[in-house]
């Protein structure tokens, strides 16, 4: 997903209300996909469950048709185990007990976008996989806590990096969080690494998608043969959690909670 729009836009209270509605629909779509997870279902089945929620609400899928090697063909990206992001849902990809599945979804409502992702286990998962999921999800909230007016993007990245690397894991430097709102990718870029006090200053009314992508064995990634899916270079497990949020004087307001 390469088409970055670098402009930073501040949203009005009314625009934030629309984004919150989009965020609720996005959360419902992820919950529907999660509910469909069991051994034997395909990643296309999960995508269909999410797509049905968007259709029911009259919302559009933000990922559908995104330019790349070919236009992105689905509502969600679903990435299994070593696959980190941008996995294309497929009727041929059956989930098996012990897999971990990252589901990323974007919803457009009245011209505004909400973007969030979760990682879920299939049946019983390994302790190693559970710990990776716990650390990644916690790192998302550690990053969100830094989304305050006057802080900078480097404060967010540094907080995530310090925690995740302290737990012995790796973060990709090739994919980042981002501004979100009128477009799925607005400025600023929000890396999951950085130096405190550096980067773009945060202001009330900015809306950001924070999305740590954590790998067990390496920070290096590869793009698979389908030209979309990004996987760890060493085949080790990866994990991804994401929320869209608003920076406000009262602190960060997560827009993609149920």
Residue 40 CB, nearest distance to Mg ion (Å)? 26
Residue 141 CB, nearest distance to Mg ion (Å)? 16
The interface region with Mg ion, picked from 8-16, 44-52, 86-94, 98-106 by CB under 5 A, is 98-106
Give the separation between CA 208 and CA 54, rounded to whole angstroms.
21
Residue 115 found at the interface with Mg ion (CB under 5 A): yes
Residue 223 CB, nearest distance to Mg ion (Å)? 17
Tell me whether residue 37 or residue 113 sits nearer to Mg ion (CB atom). 113
Do the beta carbons of residue 43 and residue 101 sit within 8 Å?
Answer: yes
Residue 114 found at the interface with Mg ion (CB under 5 A): no
Contacts of Mg ion in 197-216 (CB under 5 A): 209, 211
Classify 123 in phi/psi space as left (phi over 0), alpha (psi -120 to 50) or beta.
left
Judged by CB under 5 A, which of 99, 104, 161, 186 binds Mg ion?
104
Tell me whether residue 155 or residue 242 sits nearer to Mg ion (CB atom). 242
- 5, burial (CB in 10 Å: exposed 0-12, middle 13-18, buried 19+): middle
CA angle 130/131/137 to nearest 5° reads 90
List, as one string, the DSSP characters of 44-91. HHHHHHHHHHHHHTT-EESSTT--SSS---SSEEEEETTEEE-PPP-T
Residue 186 found at the interface with Mg ion (CB under 5 A): no
Residue 97 CB, nearest distance to Mg ion (Å)? 26
Tell me whether residue 43 or residue 249 sits nearer to Mg ion (CB atom). 43
Helix residue spans in the chain (DSSP H): 13-35, 43-56, 127-145, 153-166
Residue 62 CB, nearest distance to Mg ion (Å)? 9
Contact positions toward Mg ion, by CB under 5 A? 104, 115, 117, 209, 211, 242
């Amino acid at each position: 997903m390469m088409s970055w729009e670098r402009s930073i836009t501040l949203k009005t209270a009314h625009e934030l209300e629309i984004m919150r509605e989009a965020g609720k629909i996005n959360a419902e779509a992820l919950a529907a996909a999660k509910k469909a997870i069991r051994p034997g279902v395909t990643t296309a089945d999960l995508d269909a469950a999410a797509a049905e929620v968007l259709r029911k609400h009259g919302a559009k899928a933000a990922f559908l048709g995104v330019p790349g090697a070919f236009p992105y063909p689905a509502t969600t990206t679903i990435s299994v185990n070593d696959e980190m992001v941008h996995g294309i849902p497929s009727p041929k990809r059956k989930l098996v007990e012990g897999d971990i599945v990252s589901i990323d979804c974007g919803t457009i409502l009245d011209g505004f976008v909400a973007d969030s992702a979760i990682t879920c286990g299939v049946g019983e998962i390994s302790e190693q996989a559970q710990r990776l999921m716990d650390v990644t999800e916690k790192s998302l909230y550690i990053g969100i806590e830094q989304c305050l007016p006057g802080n900078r993007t480097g404060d967010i990245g540094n907080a995530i990096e310090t925690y995740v690397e302290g737990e012995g894991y790796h973060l990709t430097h090739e994919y980042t969080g981002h501004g979100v709102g009128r477009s799925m990718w607005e400025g600023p870029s929000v890396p999951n690494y950085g130096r405190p006090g550096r980067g773009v200053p945060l202001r009330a009314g900015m809306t950001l998608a924070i999305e740590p992508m954590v790998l067990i064995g390496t920070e290096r990634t590869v793009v698979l043969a389908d030209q979309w899916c990004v996987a760890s270079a060493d085949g080790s497990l990866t994990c991804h959690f994401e929320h869209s949020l608003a920076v406000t004087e009262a602190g960060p307001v997560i827009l993609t909670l149920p």
